Structure 1
Amino acid sequence: MTRTAVLICPGRGTYNKPELGYLHRHHADKAALFAGFDAARAALGQEEVTALDGATRFSVGKYSRGDIASPLIYASALADAQSLAEDIEVVAVTGNSMGWYIALAAAGALSAQDGFELVNTMGTLMQEHLIGGQLVYPFTGDDWRPDLQRKAELLALVAQINGRRGHVLALSIDLGGMLVLAGDDAGLAAFEAAVPQIADRFPMRLANHAGFHTALQAPVAAEGRKRLDGAMLTQPAVPLVDGRGAIWQPGSTDLASLWDYTLGHQVVESYDFTRAVQIAAQEFAPDLFIVTGPGTTLGGAVAQSLVHQDWRGMTDKAAFKARQAEEPLLISMGDDSQRSVATAPAS
């Protein structure tokens, strides 16, 4: 019996110390795939992906860089997408932030190699320019119930700070129960000073992250359009849900518009991951939501996005966990205890 799944690809920040060696542990059978990625990096004088993954030491300063993290995450996620059990039918693909580029390849709109070129180019450009920064701040409590008033208050504060002279601040990603904000240092610092600390963690600055999904990235988007050729796109094999919740269908996708979105709106405007997940749930009603590796940090945002729309009666964290215990709905391939659910046929 076929299991239907929405496939979700992660963005930056998901390849950390526990993920070192991910390609070697899980994908020793994909040497040919990785050889193409390594050759592309070597041609640019960059360290090969398999060498980065096979290193004996991990440092945040190195592995959080856009030109290092992006290709590692792409290789890990795409290899996972190619490792699903044969009884799983992917009915739609989406992703978070950089995960949109991975989603394009996972859905067949880009070849594996062209997808790698897109990710490596944009990751390198982001690192070279490193305009602005990002921080994360929650608007829901421990029960995951949506607090729309708190969210509105925080977004009003963001707008107020952005209106100050010499300050830039905007919503970067709507991420389940979290707001990812981006701006210049003055804008980020003003927000940090204005909100209470939560759990000694938030607001949390993200290392080596630029002001993604804001107008600050306009120069990066322009340079990406110069260096990359939109002719690499083809019709997706399965539907794609983008960072606005718009659906790109196989056979009827306007490829020029898809390219414009990918290196235009997607780079310089807010990315609504919550809406992408919710639209995928509503339109495709899958048996499973499968988050590719590396890492497991995106699973919480997916679960919160579903809870915030009362998906299948799940109105809070407890309800979600009860459903997961009864029959897993959300599978994180980066979690060894869950990975086999997606890679082995259902019994």
Structure 2
Amino acid sequence: MTKERIVVVAPGRGTYNKAELGVIARQHGDKVGLLAQFDAYRAALGQETVSALDGAARYVGSKHTRGDNASALIYAASLFDFLSIDRDRYEILAVTGNSMGWYTALACGGALDAMGGLEVVNTMGTLMQERLIGGQLIYPFVDEDWRAIPGERARIEAKMVDIDGRAGHDLALSIDLGGMLVLAGNAEGLAAYEREMPVRQERFPMRLQNHAAFHTTLQAPVAQDGRARLPASLFSQPNVALIDGRGALWQPGACDLEALWAYTLGHQVVAPYDLSAALRTAARELMPDAFVVLGPGTTLGGSVAQSLIRWGWRGWDGKRDFQVAQSEAVRLRSMGIAEQRALVV
């Protein structure tokens, strides 16, 4: 049987929400040994275990969205999804991820082992939470059919630069997320943007709960602490290609591990993360048959689709066009959607 060739995408923060409570227990009963190791690691640090967070009686936003908790939950759910992909049916060409999903991608691709991945995710998530420098908001530059609004991205960026130039205001691009831009800054910068930009689709600009100013220079202290705590010796040659947040391709068996460590705990923390560029590299250079988005949740699927529309993959030209194509052949498979998960595991 000919295997389908896929690129796997790992989600970042904000993907384990109320609907995902209990997802690890429901879907990954066969991963109890690895989950026990994750739990023991966090318990030794005095942190609530992944099992306890996932098995809580109710979802509590103030607890489950904290960086020190959300990062470990999302990492475990995503890595376990990756391990569930049917390798008899699929050839994995590369792994990429959005923001925190880069750390997960490193573990999926073998550059970190499972416990090393948890150590990186947990350490960086905890540092972010302890310092909680700044925040993030999200704003679209596409219309409701996921087509770019002429001039809208330039207007967003011009306003961002204007605000960032004001005394006491910090605002910068954090993530290029399909048809939306994630902006990050301090309280003054974010508040000015919210006041001065028009409301789009009745909900944007949308502030992201418990998110720091990821991927900006405000995170330089976190990057410095991360490099001090996480040695390059954690990293090994990947066995699957990796695509980072610049769109750069790291080939298995041929990586400069010191450079990979430096990027992961340097540039990736303090400079914008371009998920769209990563997906452009995947689509144009690797030419997969399909993309698979790991769980938890389903929120990243739309952003991946918007990026693929932007790059003209499979001739997709808008949301309706994408939906018609999906009804004929599911080329974008989200493991957080039961019907699409069944195609993958």
TM-score (norm 1): 0.98
Instruction: Indicate the residue corresponding to 1:279 in structure 2.
Output: 281
Can you give the 5+ residue segments of structure 1 that lack an aligned partner in the other structure? none
Instruction: Indicate the residue corresponding to 1:36 in structure 2.
Output: 37
Q: Of 213, 231, 234, which residue of structure 1 is paired with 2:233? A: 231
Instruction: Indicate the residue corresponding to 1:45 in structure 2.
Output: 46
- 1:199 deviates by 2.5
Can you give the 5+ residue segments of structure 2 that lack an aligned partner in the other structure? none
In the alignment, is residue 152 of structure 1 matched against residue 122 of structure 2? no
In structure 2, distance between residues paired with 1:19 and 1:327: 27
In structure 2, distance between residues paired with 1:103 and 1:83: 15
In structure 1, distance between residues paired with 2:150 and 2:307: 13
Instruction: Indicate the residue corresponding to 2:333 in structure 1.
Output: 331
Range with bigger deviation, 6-15 or 146-155: 146-155
Q: For this pair of structures, how many residues does the alignment match? A: 343
Question: Partner amino acid for 1:342?
Answer: V
RMSD: 0.7
In structure 1, distance between residues paired with 2:166 and 2:60: 36
SS class of match (1:212): coil
Instruction: Indicate the residue corresponding to 1:179 in structure 2.
Output: 181
1:283-318 CA deviation, whole Å, 9 max, x = no partner?
111111000000000000000000011112111111
Instruction: Indicate the residue corresponding to 1:197 in structure 2.
Output: 199
Matching of residues 240-279 of structure 1 within 5 Å: 240-279=242-281
- 1:46 deviates by 0.6
Q: Of 221, 224, 231, which residue of structure 1 is paired with 2:223? A: 221
Structure 1 residues 148 and 120: CA distance shift in structure 2, 3 A: farther
In structure 1, distance between residues paired with 2:344 and 2:228: 38
Identity %: 59
Instruction: Indicate the residue corresponding to 2:5 in structure 1.
Output: 4
Question: Partner amino acid for 1:19?
Answer: E
SS class of match (1:76): helix
In structure 1, distance between residues paired with 2:316 and 2:53: 40
- 1:194 deviates by 1.2
Instruction: Indicate the residue corresponding to 1:288 in structure 2.
Output: 290
SS class of match (1:342): coil
- 1:146 deviates by 2.0
Instruction: Indicate the residue corresponding to 1:112 in structure 2.
Output: 114
- 1:148 deviates by 5.2
SS class of match (2:15): coil
Question: Partner amino acid for 2:272?
Answer: S
In structure 2, distance between residues paired with 1:301 and 1:195: 22
1:246-272 CA deviation, whole Å, 9 max, x = no partner?
000012110000000000000000000
Instruction: Indicate the residue corresponding to 2:103 in structure 1.
Output: 101
In the alignment, is residue 305 of structure 1 matched against residue 323 of structure 2? no
Question: Partner amino acid for 2:212?
Answer: A
Range with bigger deviation, 261-270 or 273-282: 273-282
Instruction: Indicate the residue corresponding to 2:66 in structure 1.
Output: 65
In structure 1, distance between residues paired with 2:11 and 2:150: 25
- 1:335 deviates by 1.0
Structure 1 residues 33 and 312: CA distance shift in structure 2, 3 A: same
SS class of match (2:344): helix
SS class of match (2:48): coil
Q: Of 120, 123, 126, which residue of structure 1 is paired with 2:125? A: 123
- 1:200 deviates by 2.3
Instruction: Indicate the residue corresponding to 2:84 in structure 1.
Output: 83
Moved segments of 4+, more than 4 Å: none
In structure 2, distance between residues paired with 1:215 and 1:66: 19
Instruction: Indicate the residue corresponding to 2:318 in structure 1.
Output: 316
Instruction: Indicate the residue corresponding to 2:55 in structure 1.
Output: 54
SS class of match (2:284): helix
